[in-house]
Chain A
Amino acid sequence: MGGMQALSLASNFPERAARVLAIATSARHSAQNIAFHEVGRQAIMADPGWRGGDYYSAGRGPEKGLAVARMAAHITYLSEAGLTDKFGRRLQDRDAKSFGFDADFQVESYLRHQGIAFSDRFDANSYLYITRAMDYFDLAEEHGGRLADAFVGSTARFCVISFDTDWLYPTAESRAVVHALNAGAAPVSFVELSAPHGHDSFLLDVPALDRVVAGFLNG
C-alpha cells in the first residue's frame, strides 16, 4: 500500500515529489489482489462479533474473523520457497500427527500466531476500509484509462523496484508503471531484485535493496 501512496502522491501533487521510490507495488489491484482481500473481508463480516460494524460498545470485536483475514493475507506476503524453507512439513511441538484439527504443522501454528497477534493490534473495520481502498485504487482509471497520463507534469525522478518471488505484486506490475513513465519520458530506473521472501522482501534483509535505495537517494 505504501508504494501505491507514493505513486498517488507523485501523480496528484507533482510539485511536492522530487524522488519517488516505488518498491514491490502496482498502479492498480489485479483481480487476484481483490480476490484475496475479499476472502479477508468476508471472514471478518462472517464473524458474529462484527455486528454490522458496530462492535465498539460490545467490548469485543470480530477477532476471529480478523485473524483469519490476516492469515490469508499473510500467505500472500510470502513465497512458496520461503514457506518451504522456513517450515517445510515439520510438526509443531509433537512427534506424530494428531489426526485432529489442532495445529499439527509448524506453518499452521505460525499462521495462527500471526492472526491472533494482528487482531490484538488492528481494528477490523479499519481493515475493511483499507483493503477496500486498495482494491478501488486504479491510477490509470483516474486518468482516462491511460497510466502514462497520471504522471504528466511530474518532474520527479522515479526508481521502481520489484522482487522476483513477489507474486502479490509481481514484476509485470512494476514494468507497467515503468512503461507508463517511459511513455512520458520521465527519468525512471527499474530493477528486479532476486530475494527469497516474496512480497515481504521489501522489509527483510536484502543487501541489494539497501544498495539501490541508498544509491537512488544519494545519487
Chain B
Amino acid sequence: MAAALALGLVAAGCGGDDPVAGGAEDLPGPVPKGVTFAEPPASAVDAPDFAATLVDGTPVRASELWNDRPLVLVFTASWCETCADVHRTAARVVDEHEGVALLGVVPADDADAARDYADELDLGDPLAAADDEVWLDYAAREPPLVALVAPGGKILRGWPGGVEEAVLARELDALRG
C-alpha cells in the first residue's frame, strides 16, 4: 500500500525538492575571498539593469549579480539551434574564471520551453526569462548574443552571434585584479 502511494507520488511529481537546472540553486555564491577584479575603463557605459525570472520562478535582478563580480550575459532561446553551443562555450570559460557569474536570458515567451533547454544543457548557471525591453536594451535583436558586464555594472563588450572561447577568456583575464 505504502509502496503504491509512493509510486503514485513519484509519478505525479510530488514530494520532490529536486533543484531545477537553471533555477535558484544555480545562482552563484559569494565571490571567493582573495578574488578581486580590476576597475572597468572610465569610458565604459552603464549596463541597463533588469529584472527577470529564473526557470524555477525565482525573481532575479541583474545588478545583484554584477554588483561585485563580472557577469557574462548569454541571450539565447530554446528553439535556436546554434545557441546551445554558444552558451556552453561561455559557461566553460566562466567556470575557469573564479568569481565570474553567467546568466542565460531567454525571451519571455520561451520561458516554458527554457526549462527543457536548461535541463539538457545542465550548465550549473542560472537561466532567466526576460521581457522584450531587456533584449532591446542590450541590442539583442536575435539570439545568440553574449555581453560582458564589469563589476559594478559597466558594459564592456557585446558579441552578436557568440564569442570565441579564447576571446572571452582574454577579456575575463583582463578583469582580474
A binds B: no
Binding site for A on B (CB under 8 A): none
- Interface on A for B, CB 8 Å cutoff? none
